[in-house]
Chain A
Amino acid sequence: MITIESLKFSYANSSFRLNVPDFTVVKGEKLAVIGPSGSGKTTMLNLIAGIIVPENGNINVAGTAVSQLPDAGRRDFRISNIGFVFQNFQLLDYLSVMDNILHPYRISKALDLNKTVHKRAIELAQQMGIADKLLCHPDQLSQGEQQRAAICRALLPQPKLILADEATGNLDPENKMLILDMLFNRVDEDDSTVLAVTHDYELLSRFDRVVDFHEFYGVGA
């Protein structure tokens, strides 16, 4: 699913350097990435998603050389093939839960918002246990419900890859497990791949593989 070769990246005016000689994630794999803050975990997610481009090397996701695509191509690829789940959920408070879930379809021409998508959004919300909250606004939801809505938003375009950046960081222990189970169940159904950055060692046993970014790739200043 993800193949990275001879990757080099640095930020302007920063001593930070990221070197990844090779890195592979197979299709359907659930991979946890751990490492200290500043080790480049989030940078790695951004590189895979095509938000930033490397100085050298190739990043191949689902058969597409993401780093070779132009800006617009990377955006279209990202919104169609990659689902993002953020630590702070990043739901828009002025939109209802339903509108938040449908939001990717409204901000990109690469996705077509039709009746089937609406139906799938409702099914997804039912599966995540927030079907009765679709007309609510995020501030009327608990933290766990907000993250479930954010996961619905990430999963609705049926992405091949889910990138989760500290997705359970703001949740209580009970919700952490519940939401991770929900996410993994759905990912299994869609035969998607998960790459999750986490600091939560309790969750690592649920993943197929764990990579310590700092240790394996010698990342850092």
Chain B
Amino acid sequence: MIDSLYIAWQYVRWNRGKTLVLITSITLIAFLPLALQIVLQESEHQLQSRAVNTPLLIGAKGSALDLVMNSLYFDDEAPQAINMQAVGQVEDTDLAQAIPLYVRFQSRGFPIVGTSLDYFDFRQLQIEQGRMYAFLGETVIGADVAERLAVVPGGSLVSSPDNLFDIAGVYPLKMKVSGVLARSHSPDDLAIFVDLRTAWVIQGFGHGHQDLVKSRDATVILNQDEKTVTANAKLLQYTEISEDNIDSFHFHGDESIYPITAVLAQPHDDKSSALLRGRYLDDIVYQVVKPDDVIEGLMENIFRIKNVINAVIFIVGIATVLTIVLVFILSLRIRRDEMNTIFRIGCSRMTTMRLLAAEILIILLASALLCTALLWLVKINSGGLVRSFIL
């Protein structure tokens, strides 16, 4: 068999173009469904583990999936906003701890998550570099954000404008990075965390500007009486919160009606959970969802789609196998003279078959090795792949 393998190896090496095409075809047809399986398993694992660890979510009536995807995985499809009163309502029940979430803005493609400090305890997130945000305009960032944007504590990030053509819309805010979180292998690695009030500053509910009373520039003032000073559009608005201007930042209106996208509710026990859910059953403004129920439904749909993809891959696989068989048959025809020669020299038909079998074995082995290597790469990177491309 060693001699057959040696001769077969020489043949596949000499015909490297044909061999490469065959190996690539076989590898791809084996790799695709297996890689899909690995990625889906990892997706399921990540989706489920985060969902299972998030007891209840309260948000505006509408798509439960949008609410879960935005609140747990920081998907950029923001659900309809609710207001801060929702947090107070949950806390008033004394059934659960309420953590507000406002996930609407982005910075350089990464989601800005406005929340309270309770969120970090709830997710058991640790600071690896720097410190937790303490002032308005400060941010702590996930490990992947820090790595990909090469940002360290002391650096800064600018929020992306909502709409470049909406001059009355959300202005970019330069935020100071106070800390970097330790890697948690979750969507938190890809998020930029700010205090809720900083998120509201990004939206324009809070702002800082030059002091009109102390201003020496009369052209800034549109109207002035004993009680109020009205500025015109020339008024300098701060786009960065610094030690010098932080005192000028202020919020207009009642903060209890400021927007958030969800309330993450952590009931004290199962009974509290059931009672809290019961309170929202007939609510016309809010919905309460169990994320793991929503994700389970999502996974069922994903696996249905996966079955369709697998069926397509199976059909393509059959076509590929038939093509490979055809290639071998045509190859045998081309090599008829060679087979005839070695038969005349004294080679048995069995040895001839063994030579061909050795060629197929080498191609299959090479394909299996390549496929295994690719699958190993997918396996070790599946977490990152899922976080980057699916969640």
Report which A residues bind B (CB closer than 8 A).
46, 49, 51, 71-72, 75-76, 78-80, 82, 84, 86, 88, 90, 92-96, 99, 103-108, 110, 113, 137
Q: In chain B, what residue has the closest Cβ to A74?
A: B346
Q: In chain A, what residue has the closest Cβ to B352?
A: A107
Residues of A close to B347: CB separation below 8 A: 75, 79, 107-108
Stretch at the interface among B9-17, B35-43, B81-89, B141-149: B9-17
Q: How many residues of B contact A (CB 8 A)?
A: 21
Measured between alpha carbons, how far is A94 from B337 in the docked complex, in Å?
14
Question: Known contacts A90-B337, A90-B341, A94-B15; is A104 also within 8 Å of B7 by CB?
Answer: no
26 contacts between A and B (CB under 8 A): A49-B344, A71-B348, A75-B347, A75-B348, A76-B346, A78-B345, A78-B346, A79-B346, A84-B344, A84-B345, A92-B338, A92-B341, A94-B11, A94-B15, A95-B7, A99-B7, A99-B10, A103-B345, A106-B3, A106-B4, A107-B3, A107-B347, A107-B351, A108-B347, A108-B348, A137-B14
A-B contact count (CB 8 A): 62
Measured between alpha carbons, how far is A73 from B259 in the docked complex, in Å?
93
**A93–B14 CB distance below 8 A:** yes
Query: B373 on the interface (CB 8 Å rule)?
Result: no
Q: In chain B, what residue has the closest Cβ to A106?
A: B3
Query: B303 on the interface (CB 8 Å rule)?
Result: no
Measured between alpha carbons, how far is A99 from B11 in the docked complex, in Å?
12
Residues of B close to A80: CB separation below 8 A: 346
Measured between alpha carbons, how far is A84 from B348 in the docked complex, in Å?
16
**B7–A75 CB distance below 8 A:** no
Measured between alpha carbons, how far is A79 from B343 in the docked complex, in Å?
10
CB 8 Å contact bits of B317-349 with A (1 = contact, 0 = none): 000000000000000000001100111111110
**Among candidates A71, A76, A103, residue contacting B342 with C-beta atoms closer than 8 Å:** A103
Measured between alpha carbons, how far is A108 from B338 in the docked complex, in Å?
16
Measured between alpha carbons, how far is A51 from B6 in the docked complex, in Å?
26
Question: Known contacts A93-B14, A94-B10, A95-B7; is A108 also within 8 Å of B351 by CB?
Answer: yes
**Among candidates B10, B15, B341, residue contacting A86 with C-beta atoms closer than 8 Å:** B341
Shortest Cβ distance from A196 into chain B, in angstroms?
16
Measured between alpha carbons, how far is A55 from B14 in the docked complex, in Å?
42
Question: Known contacts A106-B7, A108-B351, A110-B346; is A94 also within 8 Å of B341 by CB?
Answer: no
CB 8 Å contact bits of B1-38 with A (1 = contact, 0 = none): 00110110011011100000000000000000000000
**B6–A106 CB distance below 8 A:** yes
Residues of B68-86 whose CB lies within 8 A of A? none
**Among candidates B13, B342, B343, B346, residue contacting A94 with C-beta atoms closer than 8 Å:** B13
Question: Known contacts A90-B337, A90-B341; is A104 also within 8 Å of B10 by CB?
Answer: no
**A72–B348 CB distance below 8 A:** yes
Question: Known contacts A90-B337, A92-B338; is A107 also within 8 Å of B345 by CB?
Answer: yes
Q: In chain A, what residue has the closest Cβ to B15?
A: A94
Measured between alpha carbons, how far is A137 from B11 in the docked complex, in Å?
12
Shortest Cβ distance from B4 into chain A, in angstroms?
8
Residues of B close to A79: CB separation below 8 A: 345-347
Give the 10 A-B CB pairs with smallest separation, nearest first. Answer: A79-B346, A94-B14, A106-B3, A90-B341, A107-B347, A78-B346, A94-B11, A75-B346, A94-B10, A108-B346
CB 8 Å contact bits of B225-238 with A (1 = contact, 0 = none): 00000000000000
Shortest Cβ distance from B342 into chain A, in angstroms?
6
Measured between alpha carbons, how far is A153 from B11 in the docked complex, in Å?
19
Measured between alpha carbons, how far is A208 from B341 in the docked complex, in Å?
28
Measured between alpha carbons, how far is A80 from B345 in the docked complex, in Å?
10
Beyond the given pairs A103-B345, A104-B345, 16 more chain A to chain B contacts, judged by CB atoms under 8 angstroms and listed by A's residue number, are: A46-B344, A49-B344, A71-B348, A72-B348, A90-B337, A90-B341, A94-B15, A95-B10, A99-B7, A106-B6, A106-B7, A107-B3, A107-B342, A107-B346, A107-B347, A107-B355
Shortest Cβ distance from A98 into chain B, in angstroms?
11
Residues of B close to A82: CB separation below 8 A: 346
Shortest Cβ distance from B20 into chain A, in angstroms?
15
Q: In chain B, what residue has the closest Cβ to A111?
A: B346
Measured between alpha carbons, how far is A107 from B343 in the docked complex, in Å?
9
